[in-house]
């Protein structure tokens, strides 16, 4: 795909910069920005596990037609020059399948893209939005692997002050 074939990314409805003037947050969505409280926050990273988490959040939300979902993608630190283009681009593209899933289910969504430590940013956003809880995919690591490799889901469980729903990888939930 050439650069001219890349679909345009819509302009975010809301952005924030740090003290250096670097873009550190951007948001878009189909849900009103002021109506976040009580919605599920779903961490998305483009992996099959995060799509499973989005699917679970859609199921939880389907019973309440007034509800919506907040999607969050966190990008590791970028230099100022890269952040302006890369932060929105990465978040928009990585979340495409989760956004499509919400659109297909008729669920209003907002996408929040943040820069920094993933677990810290997810937990901070849940607090800021007054989220009902956080839905996050698990990679299915053993306790030792999580300790050695680190796990965003593990950190979110321990840092979070709202309920955290861990969605296991396909095959683990049915005992396979």
The length of the chain, given as a count of residues: 176
Q: How far apart are CA 167 and CA 173, in angstroms?
A: 8
pLDDT in tens, 84-114: 999 999 999 999 999 999 999 999 999 999 9
- When pLDDT is averaged across residues 4-19 and rounded to a whole number, the result is 81
Q: Are 61 and 67 in contact (CB under 8 A)?
A: yes
Q: At how many degrees (to 10) do helices 118-129 and 152-159 cross? A: 40
Please tell me the distance from the alpha carbon of residue 136 to that of residue 41, in angstroms, as a whole number.
9
Q: From CA 128, how far away is CA 116, in angstroms rounded?
A: 16
User: Cβ contacts of residue 65 below 8 Å, gap of 6+?
Assistant: none
The pTM score is: 0.85
Task: Domain ranges for the chain, please list them.
Answer: 18-167
Alpha-carbon gap, residue 167 to 20, rounded angstroms: 37
CATH class held by domain 18-167: alpha beta
């Amino acid at each position: 795909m050439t650069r001219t074939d890349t679909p345009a990314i819509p302009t975010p409805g809301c952005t924030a910069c740090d003290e250096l003037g670097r873009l550190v947050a951007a948001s878009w969505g189909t849900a009103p920005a002021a109506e976040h409280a009580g919605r599920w926050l779903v961490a998305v990273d483009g992996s099959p596990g995060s799509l499973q988490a989005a699917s679970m959040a859609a199921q939880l939300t389907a019973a309440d037609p007034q509800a919506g979902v907040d999607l969050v993608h966190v990008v590791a630190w970028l230099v100022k020059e890269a952040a302006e283009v890369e932060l929105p681009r990465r978040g928009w593209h990585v979340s495409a399948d989760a956004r499509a899933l919400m659109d297909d289910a008729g669920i209003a969504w907002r996408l929040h893209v943040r820069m920094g430590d993933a677990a810290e940013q997810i937990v901070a956003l849940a607090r800021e939005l007054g989220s009902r809880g956080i839905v996050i995919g698990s990679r299915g690591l053993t306790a030792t692997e999580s300790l050695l490799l680190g796990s965003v889901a593990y950190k979110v469980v321990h840092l979070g002050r709202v309920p955290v729903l861990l969605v296991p990888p396909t095959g683990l939930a049915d005992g396979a």
